[in-house]
């Protein structure tokens, strides 16, 4: 990397996507606001084999609530949480994409019917919601997560890519000097070193001869 950087002919173009899988357990609820930002694209994933108003067995509802736990209740919770914690900077941003799973539990001949039922159910659920312009209802992606060859996984990737490219923050210039340091830290994390002192980070930063981050960086 330093060889190319020193040559003066190499321009680093990096498009980074960081994926966060939010923990749904109650103990994690207070941490969600830390990671919710208008710069993100949100995927709300739910079990498409269940009716939206079907009670989810062995699952409690949210603390302080006395509602029957159903997919509809949880969908509303996630949409409300995202739009509560995300600062409004651009109209209709962030976008929230719905992804149904467990397609393998639905008979093949009923999949498209089930997809339309889910679409109409979600549309009805949020028809009067103030944040409905944030919601991406089409395509309603219905995946079999157990099958890597499921063509809808490619549809999901394509949709994520298109929504990411359409995001107002996409293409913002970022300091390339951050990248080598992040790669060095990522290697240590992969080796099992999860915590580093400030002195160690400064030492890693000093390793690169051509992209050292200064205090002003």
Q: Which residue has the tokens 């509809």?
A: 72
Report the run of H or E that residue 89 belongs to, with start and end: none
**Degrees to nearest 5, angle at CA 165 with 93 and 156:** 90
Q: What is the pTM of this model?
A: 0.71
The pLDDT value recorded for residue 141 is: 94
71 burial type by CB count under 10 A (0-12 exposed, 13-18 middle, 19+ buried): buried
The pLDDT value recorded for residue 209 is: 60
Q: Which two tokens stand for residue 149?
A: 């060859």
Q: Which two tokens stand for residue 182?
A: 């992040």
pLDDT at 37 over 90: no
The pLDDT value recorded for residue 189 is: 80
Q: Given strand 135-142, what is the order of strands in its sheet? A: 42-47, 96-101, 135-142
The pLDDT value recorded for residue 150 is: 93
Q: 10-40 burial, b if ≥16 CB within 10 A, otherwise e?
A: eeeeeeeeeeeebeeeeeeeeebeeebebbb
**Helices assigned H by DSSP within 51-197:** 71-85, 111-125, 151-166, 178-190
pLDDT band at 22 (very low <50, low <70, confident <90, very high): confident
Out of 3-7, 33-37, 61-65, 93-97, the most confident range is: 93-97
Out of 12-26, 52-66, 89-103, the most confident range is: 89-103
Q: Using only the alpha carbons of the chain, give its radius of gyration.
A: 21
pLDDT band at 210 (very low <50, low <70, confident <90, very high): low
């Amino acid at each position: 990397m330093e060889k190319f950087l020193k040559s003066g002919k190499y321009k680093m173009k990096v498009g980074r996507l960081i994926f966060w899988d939010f923990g749904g357990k109650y103990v994690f609820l207070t941490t969600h606001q830390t990671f919710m930002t208008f710069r993100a694209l949100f995927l709300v994933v739910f079990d498409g084999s269940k009716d939206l108003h079907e009670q989810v067995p062995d699952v409690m509802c949210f603390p302080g609530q006395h509602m029957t736990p159903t997919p509809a209740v949880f969908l509303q919770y996630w949409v409300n949480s995202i739009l509560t914690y995300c600062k409004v900077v651009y109209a209709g941003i962030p976008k929230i994409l719905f992804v149904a799973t467990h397609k393998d539990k639905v008979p093949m001949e009923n999949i498209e019917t089930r997809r339309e039922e889910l679409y109409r159910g979600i549309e009805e659920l949020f028809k009067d919601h103030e944040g409905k312009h944030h919601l991406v209802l089409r395509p309603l992606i219905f995946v079999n997560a157990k099958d890597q060859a499921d063509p809808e996984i490619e549809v999901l990737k394509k949709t994520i890519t298109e929504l990411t490219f359409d995001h107002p923050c996409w293409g913002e210039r970022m300091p390339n000097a951050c990248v080598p340091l992040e790669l060095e830290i990522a290697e240590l994390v992969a080796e099992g070193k999860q915590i580093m002192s400030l002195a160690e980070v400064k030492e890693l930063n000093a390793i690169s001869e051509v992209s050292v981050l200064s205090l002003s960086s």
